[in-house]
């Protein structure tokens, strides 16, 4: 969703609620007055276009999503790019929440609705704070338990509470901040088509090297210098070596050097026909596969490959990436994986 689309959506919502009765939400000891159907956060609706930062807080940690120029970044992930469309979507969803009915004002009942203090040991809520470019708070809301279509008509609802109020509410709508915070990262990482790959060489920690290569794009990938008496039984793995860098999405990201990737990690050296060189160091620990990319261009690389190398180097080299395990398999292949014999 582009910024202009976001502005239009908010403008439409504001227009739809123009003339609504005044409501006030006071702090814990003051009366609460509101009407069903009213917007829960009118200030956010008025100032939605001022939003420059979204902070999500749970007992498991914090995610700070901040607008930087025309893009959003994930501060806790080394300022790695965040999915701006997803951030704008949850802002719109929060701005569109409408009150249905007031619920409890008793803190000991908050856990039932999951609107308790999100930093509590057993807290299951999420505090969503929206700030402007000067750091001023536009909205500060505890997001609680979601009710799937409880109101009928195909519309979800959820429990919410302003951080500075003890009044919990049932609100119509949904703010989809479920799941791990990594969901807000830009997930596509690298996508180099199979037809571009000329060679994939894997190097084990003991120096053992396996090379899979072809001379032309139309040729099949083949093992180089296959030892006498050995036969490839897993030809599919040889073929798939060409897809080693195709369609890779990240699961998580850290600043380079923060992931557990030892100096003697398994490495893969991948070369394209036009001279792009990608080295991937991979290490699996605690069922998590981490990869570190190093990018270069061969001296005889095409100009396009040299430009591509510069772009990939700037985007990938400052970070370590967690990948799905099956995606790292081509980076760690050994001869025994292809022959089935030790």
Residue 142 bridge partners (DSSP): 127, 161
Confidence of residue 15 (pLDDT cuts 50, 70, 90): very low
In 3D space, the residue among 313, 265, 263 whose CA is nearest the CA of residue 289 turns out to be 265
Instruction: Please give the span between the terminal C-alpha atoms of the chain, in angstroms, as a whole number.
Output: 53
Lowest mean pLDDT among 149-158, 176-185, 246-255: 149-158
Q: Give this prediction's pTM.
A: 0.85
Residue 15 CA: distances (Å) to CA of 43, 73, 305: 14, 31, 50
The Cα angle at residue 70 between residues 83 and 259, in degrees rounded to 5: 45
Q: Look at residue 340 in the predicted model and tell me its pLDDT.
A: 83
pLDDT, mean of residues 40-52? 96
Confidence of residue 150 (pLDDT cuts 50, 70, 90): low
| Domains in the chain: boundaries | 3-184, 188-339
pLDDT, mean of residues 135-149? 94
pLDDT digits (tens, 9 = 90+) for 81-112: 999 999 999 999 999 999 999 999 999 999 99
Confidence of residue 152 (pLDDT cuts 50, 70, 90): low
């Amino acid at each position: 969703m582009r910024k202009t689309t976001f502005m239009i959506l908010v403008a439409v919502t504001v227009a739809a609620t123009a003339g609504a009765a005044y409501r006030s939400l006071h702090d814990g000891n003051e009366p609460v007055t509101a009407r069903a159907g009213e917007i829960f956060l009118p200030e956010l609706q008025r100032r939605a276009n001022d939003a420059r930062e979204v902070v999500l807080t749970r007992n498991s940690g914090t995610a700070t999503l901040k607008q930087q120029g025309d893009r959003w970044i994930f501060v806790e992930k080394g300022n790695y790019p965040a999915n701006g469309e997803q951030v704008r979507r949850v802002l719109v969803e929060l701005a569109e929440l409408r009150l249905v009915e007031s619920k409890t004002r008793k803190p000991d009942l908050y856990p039932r609705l999951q609107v308790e203090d999100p930093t509590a040991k057993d807290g299951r809520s999420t505090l969503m704070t929206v700030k402007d470019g000067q750091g001023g708070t536009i909205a500060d809301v505890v997001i609680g338990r979601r009710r799937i279509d409880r109101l009928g008509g195909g519309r979800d609802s959820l429990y919410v509470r302003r951080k500075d109020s003890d009044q919990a509410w049932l609100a119509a709508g949904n703010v989809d901040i479920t799941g791990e915070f990594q969901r807000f990262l830009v997930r596509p990482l690298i996508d180099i088509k199979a037809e571009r790959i000329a060679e994939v060489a894997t190097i084990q920690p003991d120096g053992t090297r396996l090379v899979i290569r072809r001379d032309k794009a139309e040729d099949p990938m083949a093992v180089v210098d296959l030892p006498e008496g050995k036969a490839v039984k897993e030809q599919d793995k040889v073929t798939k070596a060409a897809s080693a860098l195709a369609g890779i999405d990240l699961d998580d990201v850290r600043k380079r050097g923060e992931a557990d990737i030892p100096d003697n990690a398994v490495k893969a050296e991948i070369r394209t026909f036009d001279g792009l060189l990608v080295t991937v160091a991979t290490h699996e620990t605690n069922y998590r596969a981490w990869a570190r990319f190093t990018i270069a261009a061969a001296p005889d690389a095409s100009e396009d490959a040299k430009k591509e190398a510069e772009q990939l180097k700037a985007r990938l080299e400052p970070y370590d990436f967690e990948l799905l395990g099956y995606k790292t398999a081509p980076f760690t292949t050994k001869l025994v994986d292809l022959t089935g014999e030790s």
